[in-house]
Every structure is written in structure tokens, then in C-alpha cells.
Structure 1
């Protein structure tokens, strides 16, 4: 069984995955902000299920460092990091300030950078481990009014690719799970921008999203559990979780991108 850290585990995919892995015998640490305030109930509920809850704010490097130190002091090792913490800004790119753009990247992209930076010295030292990033198919196909979110996830995907090759000599894996839109609290907690002068198109976008038949979030949870339990060295770089038409299209795109990447690396002498 593995020692697993999951960030952003108070709700959504993180919470469901923490519960599922704990029920399967893994030693799970749920990284959650404000565990003595607004997330105190989440801490109580997860603790009752055998999940160890630790304070972790992914926007703060010192918080990430403390969380990893606390985890290692208790568990003695760390096998898997699931970088799940995230949020979404919805609206025309023009409507957001540079400060808001920074906020979007601070959680979705730099959050993983901070946590991985804290964890990697220990994973390298033990010669094993895996970083699992929660990405999005929006990073592959960007829709209007989701530009900031898509950009942050595209950046996360690029970092995942770099980590994958850089860390392989140390026995550490880096992979990403690209999920379609599933009903979780991320939508309830979204930050919306003023839509003028995009009101008509933005209204149509919101209506279209609302009319979609929601998928089952358990599909993402099941895929994450499978990635955690996949033997070392056998995890695919990218895992897509999406309804059939989206899955097929993104899979073809990923396959082509992987072939191009191999050709580029070969041509430039990169191993």
C-alpha cells in the first residue's frame, strides 16, 4: 500500500479520491487549507474515515514545506503526490486583471510547483515515487471564456512533461490526468468576470454549459485510484477521462503530440 498526499482534498475529486484510497488500505494524507476554520467539518469527516488531514495552502511555499515535513515525520516515506488543488476563473480574458490572472496560476500551476518542490528531494532520495497532476482537456482544446483556466492547465501539462523526463533517471514518475468538465464544487466556487461587451456570447456559453448532461465524477476518482495503484514505470504520461466523443478526439490529439515529441527529441539529440 502507498503513502499518498492529495492536495485540495476538502471537496470534489480530491475528497472522493482520498476516501476511496483510504478504503482500499492506502495511507492517505489530505492537504486542506484552514482546517481549524471553514474546513473543520471536512477534517472531522475525513479523519473518521481513516484519512490523516494536514494543513496545506498550495499558494504558500512554507505551508507546503511544513506539510511534507509533517507527513514524513509520521509516515516515514511518501510514495504519491496528487496535485489536485485548483479553481476556475470564467469569463472573457480581457475582463480579468493581471492580478486575477496571477491568482488563477497561483493555485492551478504554481501550487503544484510548490508542493513538488517540497516533496522531490525525498522522492529522489528514496529512488521512487510519482507526481500525479490533475489537468484538463481544456489545456488541449480551449473554449471561449475559459481561457485563464485552460492556460493554467496547459502550463501545468508542460511542467508535467518536463518533470517526466527530468525525474526519470531518479526513479520518479510525473504524469497528468486530463479530465473533462464534471460536476464538482469547482463550478460553485468559480470566479466570474463582467461579461460586457461580450454579454450575448457569454450568456450563450453559460446556457450551453448548463444544458450539458453532467458526467459521473466517479469516473475521475476511479481513474485516479487506478493511477495510484499502477505499478511503477507503467503509468502513462497522459490519462484522459471524458465522455466518448471528447475522449476519442483528445486521445487522437495526444497520440499525435507524443509522436511529434519523440521526433523532435530525436532530431535535437535529446534522450
Structure 2
């Protein structure tokens, strides 16, 4: 791969799921990839060893870096490590995330804070660490791994959906604010795909309140699982979309990329199109449309 096409990419939450698929695919395509994991000596030691072995066996430019998205110092250090090693940073994929499923009432505010700390503030910390470098370079892209739950909230996913909606709003703000610096911010809104995110789900600690919803929640999980078992999606659809965004020429990346089964895809894309038109209309009425990315005078 020629140097003008080759990218230096940092991917958070790279131990498994979309993150693991993304780093392996990017590395096999010739990019210089930094797989960011938290607690490399401990809980992610096995994943780190697997990635190192893969890089050695297949001669891939794939490296493991320690990064805990709940710690700003950790994010700052990881970005410094990458830029020191590679000399630049072209793309940051914020994939680290988790899910707290269950009725909203059953979650204490402290539990909600934990959900947002990873899914929202984690992305904010990583972006805060990376953006001075990207602005200085005059190019680069932040790619957020979002969810169609940010657009359509189904029962028992309120905290997760709220966190992904917040991530979507941050991305839209970055998209407009960073454009004058030549830096892009985009988001991949993914439908549920089989990864280990469910295995790591955190249920409400308040068993009494959770129990009040027990029958409904149980039926919900059973019916959702049955549908996903009947028509399992391929998670590589999401990692392939992320890779495509990394490789898309600067200035040509769409704000939102939806990855979902056909019916969901059409519905969410229609909603996104309407939201884009609404943003234009509201901004024009407020007299600030010149500040939107892609505006002729922006």
C-alpha cells in the first residue's frame, strides 16, 4: 500500500467484537494500526498476546497500546505513544462501549453515570486527547461507533440509547466545529449484531425495582433473542463500514453511516435525511447556517 493511502489508526475497545474485527482488517489491508485495550497486563492480557502473535505471524503493522477511556491521563498517554511511534495520526475509531439493559426506573443515577462514563465521556476523553494533534496536522477523522438506538429507543434499552444519542449529538457538533480545521467527525449507527457486548451487560443493582418489571423484561429478552437467532447478522458488516470510512478520501465521508438489516436501514436513513434537512432549516432561521460543515460559506 502506498504511503498516500496508508493510514495510522487508533481503535479503542479492540479486545473483541467490532474493535477486534476492525483492527485485524485494517492491519491486513496494510494500515499501521494501534489496538487500544484497557488493563493490558490483567483482564486483557490474553487479547493483547493474541494480537501480538497475529502481528508477528502475519507480519502486520499492528501494535497494542494501553488505553482506559475512563481515564483522561490514560487517553493522553495513548495518543502521545501513537504519535511518537508513527509520527502522525490519521484516524481514531472510538469503539469502546458497554450496555446497561433493563427498565430505566431500576437504575440508580450512579449506575447511569457508569453507562455514560464509557459510552459518552470515554469518547470525549479520547477526542480531547487526539484533536490538538489532528488540528495541527490539518487532517484526520474521528469515527464513533454508535447505534440505531440513538435514533429509535426500544424498551429496556433506555440508558444505552440515551448514551448513544448523546454520542450522536457530540459527533454532529464535532462534525461542524472541526470542519474549518480540515478534520472530520462521523458516526456509524449499527443495528444489534452478535458480539460479546451482551455477555458483558450490567443489570440494575436494585433487585426489587428490577423484579417489578421481571415478566416483561424476560419476555422481551426471549423474543429479541429468538429473532436474532433466526436471522443472525454478520458483525463484519460493521467493521467493514468502519474500514471503508478510514479509507475514504478526506472530505468525502458522510456524517452518518447506517449498518442494519434492510427494513431498519431504510427507516433510519429516512430519519437521518429528515434530520439533516431540519438542521439546515433551523440553522438558517437562527442565522448560523454558515457554520455548518459543507455550507458554501463555511
- Per the normalisation by structure 2, the TM-score is 0.90
Superposed counterparts of 1:1-150, under 5 Å: 1-48=6-53, 49=55, 50=60, 51-150=62-161
Aligned to 1:218: 236
What is the CA-CA distance between 1:218 and the residue it aligns to? 0.9
Q: Residue 211 of structure 2 aligns to a residue in which SS?
A: coil
- Structure 1 distance, partners of 2:87, 2:191, is 35
Unpaired stretches in structure 2, ≥5 consecutive residues: 1-5, 291-298
- Structure 2 distance, partners of 1:24, 1:47, is 17
What is the CA-CA distance between 1:265 and the residue it aligns to? 1.0
Q: Deviations over 1:139-197 (max 9, x none)?
A: 10001100000000000000000000000000000000000000101011001224321
Unpaired stretches in structure 1, ≥5 consecutive residues: none
Aligned to 1:198: 213
Aligned to 1:168: 179
- Structure 1 distance, partners of 2:265, 2:280, is 22
Q: Residue 130 of structure 1 aligns to a residue in which SS?
A: strand
Q: Deviations over 1:71-130 (max 9, x none)?
A: 111001000000000000010001011110000000000001000000000000000000
- Structure 2 distance, partners of 1:200, 1:43, is 40
What is the CA-CA distance between 1:266 and the residue it aligns to? 1.2
- Structure 1 distance, partners of 2:268, 2:219, is 24
Aligned to 2:251: 233
Q: Deviations over 1:207-247 (max 9, x none)?
A: 11111122110111111111110000000000000000100
- Structure 2 distance, partners of 1:252, 1:125, is 36
Q: Residue 41 of structure 2 aligns to a residue in which SS?
A: coil
Count of residue correspondences: 271
Point out the more displaced range, 200-209 or 95-104. 200-209
- Structure 2 distance, partners of 1:130, 1:138, is 23
- Per the normalisation by structure 1, the TM-score is 0.99
Q: Deviations over 1:31-88 (max 9, x none)?
A: 1011111211211111232311000000000000000111111001000000000000
Q: Which has the larger radius of gyration?
A: 2
